[in-house]
Chains A and B, each alone.
Chain A
């Protein structure tokens, strides 16, 4: 087994020296594996937590207590969202629908960006904002076209 602790650029304190620490692990971010503590009856939310770095957003779709900051430990990660189009002009999105169902069943709230994404992915009704963006984009495109023709 590779000893990641030796390779790491910055010494990452590990409670158990036998567990290797990846050199690419985020240093200031808690793990996405869901170590967040929560009350049984507290308000949870399914929402985006911004990972990535400067000028390169990347989001985890997470379940957290609604009052908590996005960089605190999460209850569970239920998806990912990459808002920057890749080489095939796709924005990659993944959801764990089973767990999302479970958490909605438990009464978790859903933030607007996640609701939009869920609407596009067919799990939820389409969000009005999606329609609005679409028609505004169409208007803009039409305006550009008329300008070009003139």
Chain B
């Protein structure tokens, strides 16, 4: 039962095993659990009592006696002092006459008004500045918007022009038959091969091979 919680042997012991292959030693990383009985080897062991130094003990007794007396006196003194101070202090019950109260109120109001005035002045300046800044920002944004609109308009016009130029070659309902006839009449074959001189030889089925090869030769 005790074996199950013994952790793996540590590195030092492992090296020892490899060296001697004789002594296997288990290292416990923990204390004996509280509910385990006293080990048999410790059962009859009498722990050594700590030695008492009589002189030191007497000296400590004397010091403690003195200390306790002095502390008691100091504490009594402080307690009395604190109590007396509490009795004479007016920290928790301030006595003020109505005239004093009014004067104090007046003084506070004056201070408050002066402070308010200075803050109002600051605020006015700050708001003025912010307004001017906002105005500038809006103007800049408007200008930017006009420029962007102009660019977009130009782009749209360009696109329309391109479409119009392409529309000439569109196949529509009215020229569909014509286009089909043309396509059937002129089949084109894109299969070709190249010989060692770089000449392009066109397809197997198309009829206009000569024409196409002439074109590639010209290119």
Measured CB to CB, the residues of A under 8 A from B are 101-102, 104-107, 115, 124-128, 131-132
Contact = CB atoms under 8 A, between A and B. Distances in A.
B79 A105 contact: yes
Contacts of B70: 125
B67 A101 contact: no
A107 B75 CA distance: 8
A106 B60 contact: no
Contacts of B56: 132
Given A105-B83, A131-B63, A132-B60, A125 B74 contact: yes
Interface size classification for chain B: 10 to 19
B82 A102 contact: yes
A127 B78 CA distance: 18
B71 A105 contact: no
Closest A-B pairs by Cβ, 10 of them: A105-B82, A128-B63, A125-B70, A104-B78, A105-B79, A128-B64, A105-B78, A128-B67, A125-B67, A101-B78
Interface of B: 56, 60, 63-64, 66-67, 70-71, 74-75, 78-79, 81-83
A137 B71 CA distance: 25
Nearest to B85: A105
Contacts, number: 33
Interface residues of B: mostly helix, strand, loop or mixed? helix
Nearest to B63: A128
A117 B185 CA distance: 115
Given A125-B70, A125-B74, 13 more contacts: A101-B78, A105-B78, A106-B82, A107-B79, A124-B71, A124-B74, A125-B66, A125-B71, A126-B67, A128-B60, A128-B63, A132-B56, A132-B60
A104 B79 contact: yes
Nearest to A115: B71
B75 A104 contact: yes
A131 B63 CA distance: 9
Contacts of B75: 104
Contacts of B71: 115, 124-125
- Name, among A102, A105, A131, the residue most crowded by chain B CB atoms within 10 Å (CB to CB): A105
